[in-house]
Structure 1
Amino acid sequence: MRISVILLFSAVLLAESCDGPKSSEEMLFGPTWELEYISGPRIAFHGLFPNKKPQIAFNKESGEVFGTDSCNGYTAGYKLEGNSISFGDPGPTTMMFCGGSERQFLEMMKKIDGYAVEDGKLNLLIREIPMMRFKKVEP
């Protein structure tokens, strides 16, 4: 009996360890990511987004991202190739005006050409320079 339990436990550990670490691409899917840093604007981050932060989530099956720009919802296509990523123009969004910072987020997304997931953070890059950093948020 004792040997059976030990063998079963060992088999489970071996099976789990064979999965190995997830790739950056695999880590994109599932969580919702919330912006915690954006490069460029001369206004402090919390001044740009005082109430609600932009969010992004990736749908692997549809090839679309969706979320909020801090004010309005958006959906856009995306393409992945290795660590390169590009985003299409956002589809129709609601047209509430919340101060203008929401447009800066969407304009920056158009310029992004790469990504990296490190230490539980998603970095969107321009020529390997982090321009936006996101953290995972609970639904």
Structure 2
Amino acid sequence: MKSSVILFFTAVLLAESCSGPKSDEEALYGPTWELEYISGPRIAFEGLFPEKKPQISFDKESGKVSGTDSCNGYSADYTLNGNSISFGEPGPTTMMFCGGSERQFLEMMKKIDGYSFEDGKLNLLMGEVPMMRFKKVKP
């Protein structure tokens, strides 16, 4: 009896240690991420995106991201290598003009070379500097 209890608890501990927390890469997949900060523009964030915020979703199988630049939909390839990330040229987007701020987002995406997570938020980096920060909006 005693040995079966010990065996049970050992199995539970082993299972828990194997499941562990998600890797940074795995944390990218699943949620839709909504922009809540962008570096660079001299216009306040709420002025850039007063109604809709840009969003991004990562698809592991296709190696593509998709979302909205606040006005138009977009899709692009991405490449991961550890915590380094690069985005391809956004391909077919819708062509509405919404004031120009949507281009700020897509232009910044071209400069991104890394990513990190902090307090459940996704940071897209240029070097070590967070250039864009996203929050989860759907699982």
TM over 0.5: yes
Equivalent-residue separation in structure 2 for 1:74 and 1:8 (angstroms) = 50
Corresponding residue for residue 26 of structure 1: 26
Q: Secondary structure at the match of 1:56?
A: strand
How far 1:102 sits from its partner (Å)? 0.3
Query: For residue 32 of structure 1, what is the amino acid of its counterpart?
Result: T
Query: For residue 71 of structure 1, what is the amino acid of its counterpart?
Result: C
Equivalent residue runs for 1:1-139 within 5 Å: 11-12=11-12, 14-138=14-138
How far 1:9 sits from its partner (Å)? 8.2
Structure 1 vs Structure 2: percent identity of aligned residues?
83
Equivalent-residue separation in structure 2 for 1:57 and 1:13 (angstroms) = 34
Give a deviation string over 1:40-96, Cα, whole Å, max 9, x none: 001100010000000000000000000000000000000000111000000111100
Query: For residue 44 of structure 1, what is the amino acid of its counterpart?
Result: A
Q: How many pairs does the alignment contain?
A: 138
- Unpaired runs of 5+ residues, structure 2, are none
Q: CA RMSD in A?
A: 2.1
Equivalent-residue separation in structure 2 for 1:13 and 1:99 (angstroms) = 56
Equivalent-residue separation in structure 2 for 1:9 and 1:47 (angstroms) = 56
Q: Secondary structure at the match of 2:106?
A: helix
Q: Secondary structure at the match of 1:117?
A: strand
How far 1:118 sits from its partner (Å)? 2.1
Equivalent-residue separation in structure 2 for 1:37 and 1:10 (angstroms) = 45
Equivalent-residue separation in structure 2 for 1:118 and 1:10 (angstroms) = 33
Give a deviation string over 1:6-55, Cα, whole Å, max 9, x none: x8788556523431111111100111000000000011000100000000
Q: TM-score, normalised by structure 2?
A: 0.90
Q: Secondary structure at the match of 2:27?
A: helix
- Unpaired runs of 5+ residues, structure 1, are none
Query: For residue 138 of structure 1, what is the amino acid of its counterpart?
Result: K
